[in-house]
């Protein structure tokens, strides 16, 4: 194991005493680099109490060294855990940002393309009205042209009658 066994065992013991289930303990141990099989063995050892005996034997052999190693390993473990936590949080935030960017792009596409049936229907109505107005304008133009022609004929006849 890369981490001090006593720290790991103490952590497992505290987690079990707090009522945390085995799967969560295993997951936590995986996060600090301990594989699942080894995690299960450590949990069983802590539940049976043999983990405490092994730890006590190591402490009797070299108590000064263990204390020094613990403080160094505690600091290293804390730094590792902080770094792991920070990286996990950054990954989560990156994923959330990616999701938000995808949603924003979807909204942009929905807003920029007139794909709704209602808008197409509205455009179709406007085109129909425009065609109708165009036809009415042409008819009105034709009627006005005939009126103008009739007025010219009448004016011409009146001028001829005056001149006669």
Q: Do 93 and 67 fall within a single domain?
A: yes
Mean pLDDT, rounded, for 138-143: 93
**CA atoms of 83 and 104, how far apart (whole Å):** 31
> Which pTM value belongs to this model?
0.31
pLDDT confidence bin for 144, thresholds 50/70/90 = very high
Give the structural domain span for 10: 5-112
SS3 116: coil
User: Are 41 and 86 contained in the same domain?
Assistant: yes
Co-location of 13 and 85 in the same domain: yes
Q: What angle do CA 52, 70, 41 make, to 5 degrees?
A: 40
pLDDT given for residue 79 in this prediction: 76
Question: Over 90: is that where the pLDDT of 139 sits?
Answer: yes
Q: What is the pLDDT of residue 107?
A: 83
- pLDDT at position 163, please? 78
Q: Do 108 and 121 belong to one domain?
A: no
Number of domains in the chain: 2
The answer on 90 and 39 residing in a single domain is yes
């Amino acid at each position: 194991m890369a981490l001090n066994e006593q720290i790991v065992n103490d952590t497992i013991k505290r987690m079990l005493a707090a009522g945390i289930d085995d799967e969560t303990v295993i997951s936590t141990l995986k996060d600090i680099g301990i594989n699942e099989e080894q995690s299960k063995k450590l949990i069983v050892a802590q539940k049976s109490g043999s983990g405490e005996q092994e730890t006590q034997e190591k402490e009797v052999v070299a108590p000064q060294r263990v204390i020094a190693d613990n403080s160094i390993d505690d600091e290293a473990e804390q730094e590792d855990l902080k770094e792991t936590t920070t990286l996990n949080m950054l990954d989560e935030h990156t994923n959330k940002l990616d999701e938000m960017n995808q949603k924003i792009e979807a909204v942009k596409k929905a807003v920029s393309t007139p794909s709704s049936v209602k808008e197409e229907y509205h455009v179709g109505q406007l085109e129909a009205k425009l065609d109708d107005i165009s036809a009415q304008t042409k008819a009105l133009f034709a009627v006005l042209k005939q009126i103008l022609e009739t007025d010219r004929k009448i004016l011409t006849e009146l001028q001829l009658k005056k001149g006669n």
